[in-house]
Structure 1
Amino acid sequence: MASSRSRYSRPTRLPLLGTTDSRTITVKLTASDDSGIKSADFTLYHGSSLSNADAVLKPSEAAPVCTADGTTSVCTAHYTIDPRRDLKNSLAGIWKVNVEADANDGDYVKVDGYTTFFMKRYAKLTANASPEPVAKGGTITVTGKLTRANWDTHDYRGYTNQRAYLEFRRPGTDYYESLGYTTTNSTGVATAKVTATADRYWRYEFRGTMTTRAVKATGDFVDVR
């Protein structure tokens, strides 16, 4: 494409999918040619290349809608993703975008794997600190459970062998401090023991992986007496 340039806008809402609710994302491509842009097309897929893709998403529109401003056009498409219809666990992680833009004078550009984005499984995390209240110098046990959406069975299952960071917040502050991490067991449960020194809110934080979103538990207050 003569005197051309293109710019891809990542999905406006990165896909984080649970087990039931669909998500709609918007994808935009900006392309230019000295003759103007006739049309564009782009495909979201999972795999090493479009020809070897094991999953492909098509836009809701028959074709991306292009709006011209001189020789530059912004082409937009929307993708509705249903985890029950479109996804399985093996599809979590990196997805790629195939793009094509056609100019009015017959020039065109086509790029497989033009850019990438992450399709992630939704995660949940709990925290429970006990006993409540506790005597100063006593032992507090903080348990939590990390689960994530299973796109094969459409429910939530424990996420095993993952780092769950134990954090505390002092009353009157709005930030948490980390004490390190423990590892979730075969059912996704994290357990840690700490010494009670003062009133604290306790929680776990999971910092995410390439396939699963990051999540923080709600803090659980322990009264130290």
Structure 2
Amino acid sequence: MLENLRVKNPHIQIHSVHDPEFSRFGEVLDVSEFGDLIRYLELHTTVPSVGNEYVPHRAELGDLVSDLSVIHNTFGRVPLEYGYVNGNNSKLNALEFHKSSEINVCVTPLVLLLAHIEDIDDSTFHSSKVTAFYIPQNTAIEVYSTTLHFSPCKVTDSGFKCAVILPYGTNMEFVSAKGNQGKYGKFLFKTNKWLLNHPENTRMVELNAISAIHGENIEIYY
């Protein structure tokens, strides 16, 4: 599948998540502990007919994985939310970061469009700095707190399914910056979520997100 994606997307180099380039953005985890979580998402969640569905927390998911060693070692026993995003997205649209790591368990194959917080230049970001990574089915990754990321991109007609594990409260409520403190404070958008929008992403424009991404709104074809 990766070679086909590379042929279909000459506008951007697509790396494997197992390539050394990924080490700037995160690390691949041992997926064997996540078998019950993967089966739950396969059997008890669906991909919407259009768009994405993001659920920040579903208690049943926490019941399956909260005691895993990989969860303990990644987050150090802070309260967590166990959610998922399923959908049909194909474009960059925005980039976000959290003041914490994030675990993604990719139930289906997908592509992530990533960048580093240091790539933000004077409160703007150019999409040419984005790096694309293909992630195979049943792969778990940690995404570092310094990594800019957003929705996965589908690589099949059936869309994607991906578990999302974060400190509890992340993405749950809209908040805005207070004053001028912090280099990236103006991008505060939701609880523990700082977001840079692409102006073509009109839904976020309507929600008053700052359109700080310049350049192409990268699309992944398959």
TM-score over 0.5 for the pair:
no
For normalisation by structure 2, the TM-score amounts to 0.19
Higher helix share: 2
Structure whose residues are more often strand by fraction:
1
